[in-house]
């Protein structure tokens, strides 16, 4: 076949291939962004249109995370989140054994509850009773968190959460194949590793999409509020 | 080496050490006072404004608080004073004014920083150091580095006192 005749055909094929490649490349980040938005919506409090976004990487078994939740996040949820100033996003970063034996299992319960829109209630129940389940967990590793999750939900809600938790019964810290919520936890961990996180809690503040440097450790509400007030007073 | 050569070498080393120490304090002060949200490193992006200054010092207060060593009421005043103290020490070290006392004060401050860093590292706090700005992890390397800064401060202080004493001796020996 004449090469001159072939050239337009080859050019056409190349053009079509290039168009599909560009579309595929564009589609991939969009899908990823949708996943991220879905994840954020499930484990967040407040309005996504709030000027400040606070992303917190937590481990439910870490005492500093418990203190940060009770002393800093709770007053913030009651005030700045309720007033539409702050959008609080939770991300899981369960530290592995031997540091924390049950952190992954706690994250699984919270993620399962998040799927039925009960993230806040179960997160609060687990942090409020952190001492109880983390200290005596070894006596009943599979069911130690169950009563606390149950107490935060209606019987019907708890049944739904239990169904989601099928396949997540093992206390294994690694990702379980049959556990529906483990991929979500893995995505949270992967996002945390990009920062990278060395300690929990670690949090990052965004103001109108502009990120501030991540900060780690227990910070009292008075200081965080002071920082928020200064950001909000900016023109 | 003659006494004169040793004297000159000592003066040069003291000058280099003093300038290095000043640079460390300038960098530490700038890290705490510089704008927090720098997207691109251009000259204009590094500009410090009153608003950015307030925000940076408040952010530093959060970092200071994460060391869990200070009572809540002390965090803000210390966080707002420390960068300026570091800046003042840097200027005085650069100018060489009252070198013996300034170097001694700088060394005391560096010793305090080192002790705090060692404690936090030993407790596995895993927090950000906040030494030269935000998002700076407190690692083993930071412990070594701060030890080096303290050693430098100590050397400059000792050098400044020796130099000062010799200068006084040579002046009083004049006919």
Question: Which residue(s) pair with A86 in the sheet?
Answer: A52
| DSSP 8-state code for residue B137 | B
CA distance A64 to chain B (A): 10
Helix (H, G, I), strand (E, B) or coil at A89: strand
Residues of A in contact with B128 (CB under 8 A): 213-217
Cβ-contact A113, A124 below 8 angstroms? no
Distance between CA atoms of residues A167 and A174, nearest Å: 13
Which of A54-63, B13-22, B26-35, B40-49 is the least confident region?
B40-49
CA distance A211 to chain B (A): 7
The alpha carbon of residue B136 and the mean position of all alpha carbons in its chain are separated, in whole angstroms, by: 16
Q: Are strands A52-58 and A215-216 parallel, antiparallel or unpaired?
A: unpaired
pLDDT tens-digit profile, chain A (235 residues): 454 555 554 555 454 444 444 434 433 444 455 656 666 778 999 999 999 999 999 999 999 999 999 999 999 999 999 999 999 999 999 988 777 888 898 999 999 999 999 999 999 999 999 988 887 655 566 678 889 999 999 999 999 999 999 888 776 777 777 788 999 999 999 999 998 888 899 999 999 989 999 999 999 999 999 999 999 998 6
Residues of B in contact with A224 (CB under 8 A): 62
Q: Quick one: pLDDT at residue A41?
A: 79
Q: Quick one: pLDDT at residue A27?
A: 39
Higher pLDDT, B8 or A171: B8
Helix (H, G, I), strand (E, B) or coil at B49: coil
Cβ-contact A47, A87 below 8 angstroms? yes
Distance between CA atoms of residues A99 and A96, nearest Å: 6
Cβ-contact A67, B65 below 8 angstroms? no
Assess B59–A contact: CB distance below 8 Å, yes or no. yes
Distance between CA atoms of residues A112 and A43, nearest Å: 10
Distance between CA atoms of residues B19 and B25, nearest Å: 10
Q: How many CB atoms lie within 10 A of CB A55?
A: 21
**Interchain contact, B37 vs A210, CB within 8 Å:** yes
Asked whether this complex has an ipTM greater than 0.85, the answer is no
Assess B55–A contact: CB distance below 8 Å, yes or no. yes
Distance between CA atoms of residues A188 and A39, nearest Å: 9
Q: Are strands A86-92 and A210-211 parallel, antiparallel or unpaired?
A: unpaired
| DSSP 8-state code for residue A21 | H
Residues of B in contact with A226 (CB under 8 A): 58, 61, 76
| DSSP 8-state code for residue A175 | P
Q: How many CB atoms lie within 10 A of CB A23?
A: 10
**Interchain contact, A218 vs B65, CB within 8 Å:** yes
For chain B, how far is it from start to end, CA to CA, in angstroms? 27
Cβ-based contacts under 8 A for chains A and B: 67
Distance between CA atoms of residues B24 and B31, nearest Å: 10
List, for residues B130-151, the tens digit of each pLDDT value: 899 888 888 899 999 999 999 9
Cβ-contact A226, B57 below 8 angstroms? no
Q: Which residue has the tokens 């009252």?
A: B98
């Amino acid at each position: 076949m004449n090469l001159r005749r072939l050239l337009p055909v080859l050019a056409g094929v190349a053009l079509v291939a290039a168009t599909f490649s560009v579309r595929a490349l564009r589609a991939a980040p969009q899908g990823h962004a949708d996943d991220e938005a879905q994840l954020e919506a499930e484990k967040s409090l407040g309005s996504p249109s709030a000027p400040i976004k606070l992303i917190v990487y937590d481990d439910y078994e870490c005492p500093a995370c418990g203190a940060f939740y009770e002393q800093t996040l709770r007053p913030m949820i009651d005030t700045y989140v309720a007033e539409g100033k702050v959008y609080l996003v939770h991300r899981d970063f369960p530290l592995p054994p031997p540091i924390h034996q049950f952190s992954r299992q706690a994250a699984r319960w919270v993620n399962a509850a998040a799927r039925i829109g009960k993230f806040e209630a179960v997160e609060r129940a687990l942090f409020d009773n952190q001492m109880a389940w983390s200290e005596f967990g070894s006596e009943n590793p599979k069911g130690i968190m169950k009563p606390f999750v149950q107490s935060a939900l209606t019987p019907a809600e708890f049944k739904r959460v239990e169904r989601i938790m099928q396949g997540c019964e093992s206390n294994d810290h690694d990702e379980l194949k049959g556990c529906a919520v483990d991929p979500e936890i893995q995505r949270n961990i992967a996002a945390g590793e990009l920062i990278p996180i060395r300690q929990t809690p670690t949090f990052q503040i965004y103001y109108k999409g502009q990120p501030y440097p991540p900060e780690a450790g227990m910070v009292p509400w008075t200081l965080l509020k002071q920082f928020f007030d200064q950001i909000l007073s900016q023109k | 080496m003659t006494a004169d050569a040793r004297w000159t070498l000592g003066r040069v080393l003291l000058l280099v050490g003093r300038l290095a120490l000043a640079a460390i304090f300038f960098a530490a002060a700038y890290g705490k006072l510089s704008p927090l949200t720098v997207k691109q490193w251009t000259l204009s992006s590094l500009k410090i404004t009153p608003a950015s200054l307030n925000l940076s010092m408040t952010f530093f207060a959060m970092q200071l608080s994460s060391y869990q060593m200070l009572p809540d009421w002390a965090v803000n005043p210390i966080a707002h004073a420390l960068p300026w103290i570091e800046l003042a020490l840097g200027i005085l070290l650069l100018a060489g004014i009252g070198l013996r006392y300034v170097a001694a004060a700088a060394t005391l401050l560096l010793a305090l920083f080192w002790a705090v860093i060692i404690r936090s590292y030993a407790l596995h706090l895993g927090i950000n150091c906040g030494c030269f700005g935000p998002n700076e992890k407190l690692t083993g390397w930071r412990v070594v580095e701060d030890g080096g800064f303290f050693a430098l401060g100590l050397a400059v202080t000792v050098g400044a006192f020796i130099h000062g004493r010799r200068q006084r001796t040579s002046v009083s020996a004049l006919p």
